[in-house]
Amino acid sequence: MQIQLPFIVRLTLTLLAILMLGYFAILGKSLLSPLLFSLLLAFLMLPLANFLEIKFRLNRSIATVLTVLIMLGALYGIGHFFAIQLSDLWRDWPLLEKQVSNSFHELQYWVSKTFHVNISKQKTYLADSAEKALATSATVIGTTLITLSSSLLFIAFTLLFTFFILNYRRLLYGFLTAVFIEEHRIKVSETVMEIQYMTKKYITGLFIQMLIVSTLMVLTLSLLGVKYAILLGLVAGIFNIIPYLGISLALIISVLITFATAGATKAFFVLLTYIGVHTIDGNILMPLIVGSKVKINALIAFIGIVIGEMLWGISGMFLCMPYLAIMKIVFQKVDGLHAWAILLGEEQKTPIERKRRTLFKKRRQLVEKKLPDESQ
């Protein structure tokens, strides 16, 4: 016999459960963030692990180790290429300092002429600001070191979790199916397969989108004659993985470097380039390549990004989209949660052709009804 609770009780329990999950997510950030990230990587690298295990008849642990090493080698190659590009930027650092100094003096002259604030007062204000910055420099350095150490720990945990998930994937799958009763196991298996397919397609689509955006930015910035076009184009493509906010951060970095190396005019053209590429990405690439795999509406996506940043920072911003899509798949499969799947999904739009066919069908039915009447 089922007990039907009042609506206010169910609402209270739902809100309490959401608050408890958020609190536990904050407490378990160091563990949950790399674990969820490694789960996505495991779904992505699963075909390679199965290929090595079946095609070459390798032991599962050896195939998993080779898969993780291949992934680590790809990451090392990307990092090494970035290091080469950054070394070129570091060699030109004195030139950048000189250019920034000249631009700063021009800005001082403009402020003095426009707002009638003489240069000595500007220097006094900057000196006071510098003293305050030096007073907090120890805190800034400490925060930077903590961030660097936590990033290294995040990478180490992610690699370890990816190895364990791939190595014990059959055990985990057996546990997941054994938790549910017999009549629900087929639905659970279908849900897992759908989540795996969606995750693989989503991450693959992100890499394709990143490659296309990077290529467009590199070509456009090279045609404009911008220095470090390859580096800035790759930064734009990689930062674009973080929805909405990543491209803004890449824009600020590119405009500042271009302003320091080539002046305000070329920096303005870089700004226009970013607007054009982002327009193409948001209206063509994102819906076709990535959006078709996730199908999360923009409102929920933006709220998820904000909540992810509040909980886990940059990693939370990246993880929110695929896990919102996973939640949508689960909601679609579980009875009683279809309304939440509708809330997460996009609005169903009726194509014009379908409307025309429906109208034509109705007209034909009316004609067919009139013909017998006229014959009689």
Domain hosting 310: range is: 296-347
Judgement on whether residues 265 and 334 belong to the same structural domain of the protein: no
| 211: Cβ contacts below 8 Å, ≥ 6 apart | 237
221 pLDDT above the threshold of 70: yes
Judgement on whether residues 155 and 235 belong to the same structural domain of the protein: no
Judgement on whether residues 50 and 159 belong to the same structural domain of the protein: yes
Rank 59-73, 74-88, 239-253 by mean pLDDT and report only the highest: 59-73
Dist CA 228 CA 86 (whole Å): 9
What pLDDT shows up at residue 141? Answer: 45
Average pLDDT (72-93) is 81
Chain-centre distance of CA 195, in angstroms? 17
Residue 96 lies in a domain: yes
* 192 vs 136, residue with greater confidence: 192
80 pLDDT above the threshold of 90: no
Which amino acid is present at 278?
A: H
Residue 89 lies in a domain: yes
125 pLDDT above the threshold of 80: no
Judgement on whether residues 276 and 301 belong to the same structural domain of the protein: no
Point out the least confidently predicted range of 114-128, 185-199, 254-268, 277-291.
114-128
CA-based end-to-end distance of the chain: 61
Question: Count of domains in the chain?
Answer: 3
Judgement on whether residues 46 and 125 belong to the same structural domain of the protein: yes
Judgement on whether residues 256 and 208 belong to the same structural domain of the protein: yes
Point out the least confidently predicted range of 148-162, 252-266, 351-365.
351-365
What pLDDT shows up at residue 60? Answer: 92
What pLDDT shows up at residue 163? Answer: 94
Judgement on whether residues 254 and 309 belong to the same structural domain of the protein: no
Residue 219 lies in a domain: yes
Average pLDDT (192-201) is 87
Judgement on whether residues 111 and 76 belong to the same structural domain of the protein: yes
Q: Which helix (H) or strand (E) holds 18?
A: helix 7-27
Chain-centre distance of CA 12, in angstroms? 32
What pLDDT shows up at residue 2? Answer: 60
Residue 333 lies in a domain: yes
What pLDDT shows up at residue 175? Answer: 92
DSSP secondary structure, 36-101, as one string: HHHHHHHHHHHHHHHHHHHHS---HHHHHHHHHHHHHHHHHHHHHHHHHHHHHHHHTHHHHHHHHH
| Pair of tokens at residue 117 | 């604030």
How does the average pLDDT of the chain come out, rounded? 80
**Neighbouring C-alpha atoms within 13 Å toward the C-beta of 309:** 10
Judgement on whether residues 51 and 175 belong to the same structural domain of the protein: yes
Residue 122 lies in a domain: yes
Sign of the Cα pseudo-torsion (242, 247, 248, 250, in order): positive
* Contact in structure between 44 and 158 (CB atoms under 8 Å): no
370 pLDDT above the threshold of 80: no
Residue 192 lies in a domain: no
What pLDDT shows up at residue 276? Answer: 92
What pLDDT shows up at residue 182? Answer: 82
Residue 359 lies in a domain: no
Q: How far is CA 10 from CA 21, 49, 298, in A?
A: 16, 44, 28
Reported pTM:
0.76
* Contact in structure between 166 and 64 (CB atoms under 8 Å): yes
Judgement on whether residues 59 and 104 belong to the same structural domain of the protein: yes
Judgement on whether residues 232 and 316 belong to the same structural domain of the protein: no
153 pLDDT above the threshold of 80: yes
181 pLDDT above the threshold of 60: yes
Average pLDDT (339-345) is 88
Dist CA 52 CA 47 (whole Å): 9
Residue 255 lies in a domain: yes
What pLDDT shows up at residue 64? Answer: 93
357 pLDDT above the threshold of 70: no
70 pLDDT above the threshold of 50: yes
* 336 vs 277, residue with greater confidence: 277
Helix axes 264-280, 229-239, angle to 10 degrees: 40
252 pLDDT above the threshold of 80: yes
What pLDDT shows up at residue 336? Answer: 79
DSSP secondary structure, 278-325, as one string: HHHIIIIIIIIIIIHHH---HHHHHHHHHHHHHHHTHHHHHHHHHHHH
Dist CA 203 CA 298 (whole Å): 19
340 pLDDT above the threshold of 50: yes
* Contact in structure between 293 and 285 (CB atoms under 8 Å): no
Dist CA 342 CA 326 (whole Å): 13
What pLDDT shows up at residue 293? Answer: 62
